[in-house]
Amino acid sequence: MKMALLAGAAVAVSAAAAHADELTDLKAQVEALNARVAAMETAPSVPTGYQLLAISKGEAMQVPGLTESAREQFTEGKNATIISVMPTADAPAGTTISWSGYVRAAIIYAGAEGDATLKRSYAGTVYSKFTISGSSDDDWDVKARGQLRVVATTDTAVGEVGVELKMRADFNGNGPGDVYMKTAWGYWAMTPELTLGGGYAGSLGNIGYGYDGACTCYYTDNADLSFDPGDTTQMRLSYASGPFSMAVAIEDSGFNNGFGNDNVYVNGQNLGVAGEMKYSGDSFSGEISGVYRSVNDDDYNTSAVLATGTVIGYNANIDALWQVGIGVGFNLGDIASLSLAAAMGSGPTQETNSNGDIIRSYPVNNDWWGITGLASANLSDSVHAEIGAGYKHREGDSHNEATAAGVDPIWRYAGFDYDTWGVLAGVYYTPVDQLTIGLEGEWYTADTNVTRRGITGTVAEGYKDSLDVSTDNWTVDLVSVWRF
């Protein structure tokens, strides 16, 4: 009995000690919880009405009704920094911001060679023929570009509303590069299928396939083989459902460079319209696009006063610009692809660079047509190669020469024929999305023929001049692209 009482007392003492230990642990946990609550109360808060601000790495956002070209997708990469602000139940809608950018630089070698032949005749008999040949000096450059792309979207009571901004600066040697706005676009997704957008962007009339439309082409694609009427301000209505989409836009026909009016806004009193229909499937894709831009003849007329006081001028009769084209693409999974483009059009002779900018325009009508193609293959998970070829023909209208006011013209120009053949190739190594290193090359030849004859009733009657110019041009570059 004595031993039993002693054992019971020992158990009771042990139980009391264990209970005391549990109370001590519980007290410590309560104190830790109070400390965390106090820290949360003193921590900075997100804006009023919001409960979460998240920053993550994700896929770059795409704007409804504003499809990026294959070149833009290659250059800008697939990823971006995503900033998301999630609202509380009774707060305004949340906002998502996609933030990305890149810097690229390249060592570029370029050259050209060619010859020109001037042949003069009278009454059908050639009396003079002169040919000159030459080549340019080797041209070495290191060029660079920086770009920031921001896409911001907000879910509202009437649908998604957002903007896209692309800011660029180009550099070539010493000195600063001016930052310019490549894209400024706003949109309202009225329904899941219908979007209203507007701003400054590429034209719907551009063919996004073939040599120019589908190539990577960081510093190649210099030949006149594009079917791009040039970027412009516009209002656009887009519809998309599954793989099918279509859009129509009212475009401004004005441009910032013109004959005798460099860096002056011309043709500003006119509008145009553009539209496209597209199908985007896994193994096949295609588009049909068209554009029409009206022209104000007065903006192509130019005049100047000589030191003698004589006024000379050029009176143009320019037709509206139009183009229709088609593009098709075939994909063999992630292994290879083939892209083809063809287009025809007419209008003032203008030059558009590889960025889609109209760099100059001339007061001569011309018709054009062409066909181009690009084949590409993924040699491995990180190596991509492509090769392209194309042909384009331009044929200019006949016109009288510029003359002094009140003086009849002496020469009649029979227009011009301009043919361009080109090939390009590139190999690109992309070990991670943040880095690409590529080797590019392009060769193209341009043949031009211009003919003029004396106008009946003038002292030049019976004379005929013919100028033939042929040039070969090439570019090779080693380029690197760094992204975030």
- Residue matched to tokens 């950018």: 101
pLDDT of residue 256: 56
Instruction: Return contacts of 288-291, CB within 8 angstroms, 24+ apart.
Output: 288/324, 288/325, 288/326, 289/204, 289/205, 289/206, 289/207, 289/324, 289/325, 289/326, 289/327, 290/205, 290/322, 290/323, 290/324, 290/325, 291/203, 291/204, 291/205, 291/229, 291/251, 291/321, 291/322, 291/323
277-280-284 Cα angle (round to 5): 115
| Residues 60 and 74: beta-carbon distance below 8 Å | no
Q: CATH class for domain 50-483?
A: mainly beta
66's CB contacts (< 8 A; 6+ apart) are 164, 185, 187, 197, 201, 236, 238
Could you read off the pLDDT of 158-167 as tens digits, one per residue?
999 999 999 9
Greater confidence (323 vs 77) lies with: 323
pLDDT of residue 339: 97
Could you list the beta-strand ranges (E) of 353-434.
358-378, 383-396, 399-400, 403-404, 411-432
Could you read off the pLDDT of 203-234 as tens digits, one per residue?
999 999 999 999 999 999 999 999 999 899 99
Q: How many angstroms separate the Cα of 357 from the Cα of each of 203, 321, 332, 352? A: 11, 16, 33, 5
pLDDT of residue 67: 83
Average pLDDT over residues 31-54: 62
Greater confidence (358 vs 172) lies with: 172
pLDDT of residue 295: 83
**For the chain, percent of residues with pLDDT exceeding 70:** 80
The number of residues making up the chain comes to 484
Greater confidence (55 vs 153) lies with: 153
Residue 130 tokens, joined: 């002169």
In which band, very low, low, confident or very high, does the pLDDT at 442 lie, cut at 50, 70 and 90? very high
Q: CA 18, CA 344: separation in Å to the nearest integer?
A: 92
Mean pLDDT (the chain, rounded): 84
Residue 29 tokens, joined: 């946990």
Highest mean pLDDT among 273-287, 298-312, 443-457, 460-474: 273-287
Q: Compute, in degrees rounded to 10, the torsion defined by CA atoms 252, 256, 258, 262.
A: 170
Q: CA 271, CA 233: separation in Å to the nearest integer?
A: 10
**At residue 369, does pLDDT exceed 80?**
yes
pLDDT of residue 456: 74
Q: Would you list the domain boundaries of the chain?
A: 1-43, 50-483
pLDDT of residue 11: 44
In which band, very low, low, confident or very high, does the pLDDT at 130 lie, cut at 50, 70 and 90? confident
Phi, psi of 450 (to 5 degrees): -125, 130
In which band, very low, low, confident or very high, does the pLDDT at 481 lie, cut at 50, 70 and 90? very high
In which band, very low, low, confident or very high, does the pLDDT at 260 lie, cut at 50, 70 and 90? very low
